[in-house]
């Protein structure tokens, strides 16, 4: 049996293990180990295991992940989400659909602190949903906007998935963050436009709220500006090359904790919740990373990704057809899997294919960055589509009287905006690359 | 769900009631707490180093190495807690309609697999540490011996293995968000 054949068999085995409820990380670890033994033998695998955990957990670029998780958790327990929402609502609430737009704006703001969509959806949902219902927004629009808005958590940098992609694709984390910014903002505006249209097409779906006067607005802004400043410094520092992303996360964590404690929004109980929440998420992510490391080490040994890439290149398929095929695979996988696992499972296989094809004459670095942002946008769609749209579940669990069907219906128009944005990014790579070039990432 | 599963409930998890479970849960919590303390320490060190670089042009020597080591240890220390909370991610799409008994059995098998894998990793990390100690492998900038860094991952994986055995024995309950209890 050639090692390429073993590669395909192991891929199949891993998927079977996944389907049988083995932990995702462990399924990849077991599949990868069996393949490793088949190709190289037992002793090399055991020798590789000696440095596996430390080698993976001590990567400096990955140290950013637990630190950002800590910062996001503290920010979410520190009352920051409510202030963000109050500030955006002070400016947008009086428009038709304005409260939902404010929720989306606040999700985007929160996404600039938090690298996770689920946390963004849950945190902003708790804050904004009662307000949306008080203003008698239709259940579909209220929950749909929040579920979709939650995906901004990961589309707007910093983003855990982008960090992982950067490491897999051997790209600069800061450059990935730069590349994600404009597409993330387009996502935010796209969602706001959807709300505006929705509120006009469906009468009474999103009634206008009371207009705030300027003094009231200034109060809301005054309550939010310290934390906004912190994050402008943190993210600006990464973009400006003043800090590494890991240092930025450290500065952000300390500053957020200090602000939350000073403003007395974070009590001891909230703090322990935040810390244990961060511990749990860290463990979840790194167990998957550990398994993916074994699987990828085996894939590299088996040469299967290269063989597949060769086959695709030799088959004469057009680059556009290949890209569409990849997007379709992500949309399908998104029905059963979370975004991080999808990226870890597929990038080692898809990236060599994409790198071998010509897209708009991009150089290899640009192509890798652009494809990463595109993949990020596509995998996020899985969070708001049935059957396992996690964001939808989270928002729906906050509003138990609204049927799940209603929430999925409310998400549909946002999905349309997602697809338009993906098409735009596929056709105009400059949307992501322009900022990277300007800032010299 | 590889991302943050946010705590939707505001209640602190009372954890398992039996003695073994209680013991393991307490240790897992302590371990995770230790991990969090390390993360804060890493943050503080990093901030101190950034401030030093800005104000006087003298960053802390080897700050990157220390942050790396602290994070590696912290991550390993968090693993058992997530297992006790059944937070490690599975795909339940294909088995969602299977009978409860089948799902429980599969979950027990999954816990056993996790326990076995964690035990192997703990053992190999230990062997790796012994070898690093013998060969005098040291970190690049600080020149600290690396064997104890490798060694520090052991307890996390050992405890992870024990928690895996415990959840395989008691049966784990995956409380997916959106899945009715």
pLDDT, tens digit (0-9, with 9 covering 90-100), for B87-100? 888 888 888 888 98
Q: Which long-range contacts (CB under 8 A, 24 or more apart) does A232-237 make?
A: A235/A112, A235/A157, A235/A158, A235/A177
> Model confidence over A218-259: pLDDT tens digits?
999 998 888 788 888 888 888 888 889 999 999 999 999 998
Q: What are phi and psi of A169, to 5 degrees?
A: -95, 5
> Whole-angstrom Cα distance, residue A32 to residue A291?
8
* Cα–Cα dist B142/B163, whole Å: 35
Within 13 Å and on the Cβ side, how many CA atoms surround A409?
8
pLDDT score recorded for residue A336:
84
Q: How far apart are CA A414 and CA A384, in angstroms?
A: 9
What distance lies between CA B73 and its chain's CA centroid?
A: 9
Which of A405, A417, A304, A238 is CA-nearest to residue A5?
A304
Question: Is residue A47 scored above 60 in pLDDT?
Answer: yes
| CA distance readout (Å), A195 to A105, A142, A413 | 12, 10, 9
Residue A25 near residue A292 (C-beta atoms within 8 A): yes
Q: Measure in Å the smallest separation between the Cα of A214 and chain B Cα atoms.
A: 35
All residues of chain A having their beta carbon less than 8 Å from the beta carbon of residue B155 are: none
CA distance B33 to A282: 12
CB-neighbour burial class of residue A10 (10 A; exposed 0-12, middle 13-18, buried 19+): buried
Pick from A118, A250, A251: CB nearest B6 = A118
CA distance B69 to chain A (A): 6
Query: Which residues, 6+ apart, have CB-to-CB distance to A318 below 8 Å?
Result: none
* Tens digits of residue pLDDT in B36-80: 999 999 999 999 999 999 888 888 889 999 999 999 999 999 999
Is some CB atom of chain A closer than 8 A to the CB atom of B139? no
Q: Residues A117, A150: contact at Cβ < 8 Å?
A: yes
Helix segments in A112-156, DSSP class H: 117-134, 139-150, 152-155
Alpha carbon distance A404, A177 (integer Å): 34
CA distance B110 to B87: 13
In the stretch 52-91 of chain B, residues with CB closer than 8 A to chain A read 64, 67-69, 71-72, 74-76, 78-83, 85, 87-91
CA atoms of A197 and A206, how far apart (whole Å) = 10
pLDDT of residue A441: 56
* Residue A338: pLDDT over 90: no
Instruction: Using the structure block, give the residue that is written with the tokens 């040469």.
Output: A303
Please tell me which residue, A387 or A65, carries the higher pLDDT value. A65
pLDDT band at A397 (very low <50, low <70, confident <90, very high): confident
d(CA B94, nearest CA chain A) in Å = 6
Nearest residue to B164 via CA among B101, B116, B102: B116
Indicate which of A71, A279, A281, A338 best probes the interface with B, i.e. most B CBs within 10 Å of its own CB: A279
Length of chain B: 181
Residues paired with B138 in a beta bridge:
B145
- Quickly tell me which residue has 């409310």 as its tokens: A410
Dump pLDDT digits (tens) for B126-152. Answer: 999 999 999 988 888 888 888 888 888
Distance from the Cα of B104 to chain A's closest Cα (Å) equals 10
Note whether A23 and B89 are within 8 A (CB): yes
Band (pLDDT 50/70/90 cuts) for residue A311 is very high
Closest CA to A374 of A169, A110, A193, A150: A169
Please give the share of chain B, as a percent, with pLDDT higher than 70. 85
E-only strand ranges, A285-406:
none
Residue whose token pair is 């339940």: B92
CB contact (8 A) between residue A279 and residue B64: no
Give bridge partners of residue B145 from the DSSP assignment.
Answer: B138
CA distance A342 to chain B (A): 10
Given an 8 Å threshold on Cβ–Cβ distance, is B47 in contact with A246? Answer: no
Q: What pLDDT is recorded for position B179?
A: 36
Q: Which two tokens stand for residue A418?
A: 């997602």
Q: What is the largest CA-CA distance in chain A?
A: 75
- The string of pLDDT tens digits covering residues A269-297 is 889 999 999 999 999 999 999 999 999 99
User: Does A263 have pLDDT greater than 90?
Assistant: no
pLDDT in tens, A72-111: 899 888 888 889 999 999 999 999 999 999 999 999 999 9
State the helix-helix crossing angle for A304-314 and A3-19, rounded to 10 degrees: 100
Helices (H), A78-213: 80-92, 98-111, 117-134, 139-150, 152-155, 160-168, 173-201
Distance CA B118, CA B153 (A): 11
Q: Rounded to an integer, what distance in angstroms lies between the CA atom of residue B1 and that of residue B8?
A: 14
Specify the pLDDT at position B5.
Answer: 39
Dihedral sign, Cα of residue A204, residue A201, residue A402, residue B173: negative
Asked if A253 and A20 touch (Cβ cutoff 8 Å), the reply is no
- Ordered alpha helix ranges (H), A203-267: 214-239, 245-262
Which of A28, A45, A51, A58 has the highest number of chain B CBs within 10 A, making it the mutation to test binding with B?
A58
Mean pLDDT of A134-159: 93
| pLDDT over 70 (residue A177) | yes
Residue A189 has a CB neighbour count (10 Å cut-off) of 15
Say if CB A184 and CB A108 are below 8 A apart.
Answer: yes
Q: Tell me if A127 sits within 8 A of A106, measured CB to CB.
A: yes
Cβ–Cβ of B3/A340 closer than 8 Å? yes
Q: Give the model's confidence band at B174: pLDDT under 50 very low, under 70 low, under 90 confident, else very high.
A: very low
pTM of this structure: 0.91
- pLDDT recorded at residue B181: 32
CA–CA separation, A295 and A287 (whole Å) = 13
Q: In whole angstroms, what is the distance from residue A6 CA to residue A210 CA?
A: 64
pLDDT at B101 over 70: yes
Give B40-45 contacts, CB < 8 A, sequence gap 24+. Answer: B40/A70, B40/A253, B41/B70, B42/A63, B42/A67, B42/A250, B42/B66, B42/B67, B42/B70, B42/B71, B42/B74, B43/A67, B43/A70, B43/A249, B43/A250, B43/A251, B43/A253, B43/A254, B44/A250, B44/A254, B45/A250, B45/B70
Q: Which residues of chain B have a CB within 8 Å of the CB of A154?
A: 3
A45 to chain B: nearest residue by CA? Answer: B124
Task: For residue B125, give the nearest of A21, A53, A161 by CB distance.
Answer: A53
Give per-residue pLDDT as tens, A411-421: 999 999 999 99
Contact A335 B117 (CB under 8 A): no
Query: Which of the two residues, A115 and B43, has the higher pLDDT score?
Result: B43
Residue A271 CA: distances (Å) to CA of A258, B82, B83: 12, 18, 21
Q: What is the per-residue pLDDT for B15? A: 64
Contact A108, A188 (CB under 8 A): yes
Residue of B nearest to A246 (CA): B46
Per-residue pLDDT of A360-380, as tens digits, reads 999 999 999 999 999 999 999
Yes or no, beta carbons of A54 and B121 under 8 Å apart:
no
A226-251: b (≥16 Cβ within 10 Å) or e: ebbebbebbbebbbeebbbbbbbbbb
Kindly tell me the sign of the dihedral angle through the C-alpha atoms of A196, A198, A202, A205: negative
């Amino acid at each position: 049996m050639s090692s390429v054949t073993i590669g395909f068999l192991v891929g199949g085995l891993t998927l079977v293990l996944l389907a049988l409820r083995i932990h995702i990380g462990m399924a990849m670890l077991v599949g990868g180990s069996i393949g490793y033994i088949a190709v190289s033998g037992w002793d090399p695998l055991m020798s590789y295991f000696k440095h596996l955990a430390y080698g993976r957990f001590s990567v400096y670029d990955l140290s950013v992940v637990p630190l950002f998780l800590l910062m996001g958790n503290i920010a979410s327990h520190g009352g920051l989400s409510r202030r963000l929402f109050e500030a955006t609502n002070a400016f947008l609430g009086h428009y038709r659909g304005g409260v939902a737009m404010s929720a989306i704006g606040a999700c985007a703001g929160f996404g600039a602190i938090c690298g996770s969509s689920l946390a963004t959806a849950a945190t902003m949902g708790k804050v904004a949903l009662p307000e949306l219902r008080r203003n008698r927004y239709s259940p579909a629009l209220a929950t749909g906007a929040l579920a979709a808005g939650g995906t901004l958590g990961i589309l707007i940098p910093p983003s855990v998935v982008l960090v992982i992609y950067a490491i897999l694709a051997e790209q600069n984390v800061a450059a990935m963050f730069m590349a994600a910014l404009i597409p993330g903002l387009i996502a935010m505006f796209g969602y706001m436009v959807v709300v505006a249209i929705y509120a006009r097409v469906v009468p009474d779906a999103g009634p206008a709220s009371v207009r705030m006067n300027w003094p009231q607005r200034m109060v809301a802004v005054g309550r939010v500006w310290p934390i906004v400043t912190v994050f402008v410094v943190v993210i600006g520092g990464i973009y400006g090359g003043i800090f590494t992303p890991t240092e930025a996360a450290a500065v952000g964590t300390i500053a957020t904790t200090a602000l939350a404690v000073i403003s007395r929004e974070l009590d001891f109980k909230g703090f322990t919740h935040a810390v244990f929440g961060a511990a749990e998420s860290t463990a979840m992510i790194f167990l998957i990373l550990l398994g993916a490391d074994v699987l990828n080490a085996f894939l590299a040994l088996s040469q299967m990704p290269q063989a597949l890439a060769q086959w695709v290149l030799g088959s004469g398929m057009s680059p556009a057809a290949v890209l569409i095929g990849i997007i379709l695979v992500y949309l399908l996988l998104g029905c059963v899997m979370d975004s991080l696992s999808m990226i870890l499972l597929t990038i080692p296989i898809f990236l060599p294919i994409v790198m071998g094809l010509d897209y708009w004459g991009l150089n290899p670095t640009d192509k890798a960055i652009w494809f990463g942002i595109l993949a990020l946008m596509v995998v996020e769609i899985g969070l708001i589509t049935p059957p396992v749209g996690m964001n939808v579940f989270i928002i729906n669990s906050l509003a138990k009287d609204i049927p799940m069907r209603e929430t999925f219906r409310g998400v549909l128009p946002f999905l349309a905006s997602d697809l338009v944005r993906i098409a735009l990014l596929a056709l105009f790579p400059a949307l992501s690359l322009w900022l990277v070039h300007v800032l010299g990432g | 769900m590889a991302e943050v599963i946010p705590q939707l409930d505001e209640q602190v998890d009372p954890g398992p009631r039996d003695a073994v479970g209680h013991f393991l849960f307490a240790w897992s919590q302590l371990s995770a707490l230790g991990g969090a303390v390390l993360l804060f320490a890493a943050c503080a060190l990093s901030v101190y180093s950034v401030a030093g670089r800005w104000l006087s042009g003298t960053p802390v020597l080897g700050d990157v190495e220390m942050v790396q080591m602290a994070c590696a240890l912290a991550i390993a220390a968090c693993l058992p807690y997530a297992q006790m909370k059944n937070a490690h991610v599975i795909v339940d799409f294909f088995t969602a309609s299977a009978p409860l008994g089948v799902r429980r059995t599969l979950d027990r098998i999954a816990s056993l697999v996790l326990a076995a894998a964690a035990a192997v990793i703990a053992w190999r990390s230990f062997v790796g540490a012994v070898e690093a100690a013998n060969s005098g492998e040291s970190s690049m900038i600080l020149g600290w011996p690396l064997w104890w860094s490798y060694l520090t991952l052991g307890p996390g994986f050992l405890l992870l293995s024990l928690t895996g055995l415990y959840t395989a024995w008691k049966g784990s309950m995956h409380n997916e968000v959106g899945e009715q209890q």
